[in-house]
Chains A and B, each alone.
Chain A
Amino acid sequence: MPQQLIKVVRPTKIELIKLRRRLSLATRIQKIIKDRVSILILEFLQIARQTVETKRKLLDEFSRTYKALSIAAGYHGYIALEKELIATERHLGIAAGLRNVGGVRIPAFELKEAQGVVRGYSLVDTSSWLDQTAQLSEKCLETIVELAELQRSLELLGREISRTKRILNALEYLIIPGLQATIKYLYMKFEERDREEKSRLKRVKVLLERR
């Protein structure tokens, strides 16, 4: 495929200098973007690995929690459990900040304990099954928050990678070859002009000698 020439207003030395400047800038940017993509991919893979691990952990923890919960529910009965549950509800929150990875802002979540570790239900009325269940489900919640952070980061990084890759490809396959081809074209134009000039001079010389 012939390279697309970049439109030049007229073939002059000034244009050539401008083009050469653009070329060097483009190569420099290409290098920087290449580095950036590799950093992003590294980070992406690391987060992907963590996500898989966390997801596995989550599945594991949930199966344990469900087991414990069904035992607790069986022991206390649903109505008594409901009574205790109303008491355990608290204003649970996450603190969300932002982290910067390779120019991408990714969120960082952290579970915030609103009232310390005291659970709301009455300790007199309940069994250790409920305690255990509560412990397990708290762990589940922690894992959920962790997974939320990782999953969101994965999405954002993935999107950024494909965006940056598109820019990189455009530079590598379109802009830089185009600039190179145009510079070459200009050089040829100049040589052509030189030759024309020379033959014109010769012609003039012959004409002068004939007089």
Chain B
Amino acid sequence: MIRIQHLEIAVIGDEDLVNGLRLAGVCRYHIIKDEHDTGEEVRRALTEVMDEPNVGVIVILEDYVKHVEDLMAQVKERKGSPPVIIEVPSKYGTGYGDVTKYYKAYIRKFIGFDIEI
């Protein structure tokens, strides 16, 4: 039997990202204002969101990931079906140069050899 859950999408980002996704209909969002202490605020927002059982996908701005790496690892280790954290680029473009390289390293970690994607 397939159990179907209904989950929500939460967004943590700057004003532009949140505005863009609100236009698509997202209603759970945390706007991080730049003038405050960004790291602290992102942490607070993520902790709040990741403990909620009905949040399935967390969209977070790439630039904020460096503040919350430990929290993200913690989420990944959870049992059951934890929320999936998706990093999206800011309006200044992405910080990761090549997507393929990132995933290649990831695959290497599990399979043990390089594979052309």
Interface residues of A (CB under 8 A from B): 41, 44-45, 48-49, 51-52, 55-56, 58-59, 62-63, 65-66, 69-70, 73, 81, 85, 88-98, 107, 109, 112, 114, 119-120, 130, 133-134, 137-138, 140-141, 144-145, 147-149, 151-152, 154-155, 158-159, 161-162
Shortest Cβ distance from B57 into chain A, in angstroms?
Answer: 5
Which among B3, B9, B103 is the interface contact of A145 at CB below 8 angstroms? B9
| CB-defined contacts of A94 to chain B, threshold 8 Å | 6-9, 56-57
Smallest CB gap from A134: residue in B: B23
Known interface pairs A98-B3, A148-B84. Does A59 touch B19 (Cβ–Cβ under 8 Å)?
no
Interface string of B60-96 (1 = CB under 8 A from A): 0000000000000000100001001010110101100
- Chain B residues with CB under 8 Å of chain A are 2-9, 16, 19-27, 56-57, 59, 76, 81, 84, 86, 88-89, 91, 93-94, 99-100, 103, 106-107, 109-111, 115, 117
Distance in angstroms from B58 CB to nearest chain A CB is 9
Given the known A-B contacts A97-B4, A141-B25, are A162 and B110 also in contact in the complex, defined by CB atoms under 8 Å? Answer: yes
A112 touches B6 (CB 8 A): yes
A89-B26, A109-B56, A162-B110 given; A95·B4 CB < 8 A: yes
Give complex CA distance A48, B5 in Å: 25
- Report 18 cross-chain contacts, Cβ distance below 8 Å, ordered by A residue: A48-B103, A48-B117, A49-B117, A69-B16, A69-B19, A89-B26, A96-B7, A96-B81, A133-B20, A133-B23, A134-B24, A137-B21, A140-B24, A140-B88, A141-B21, A141-B25, A144-B9, A144-B88
Smallest distance from the beta carbon of B6 to chain A beta carbons, Å?
A: 5
Contacting pair B86 A70 (CB below 8 A): no
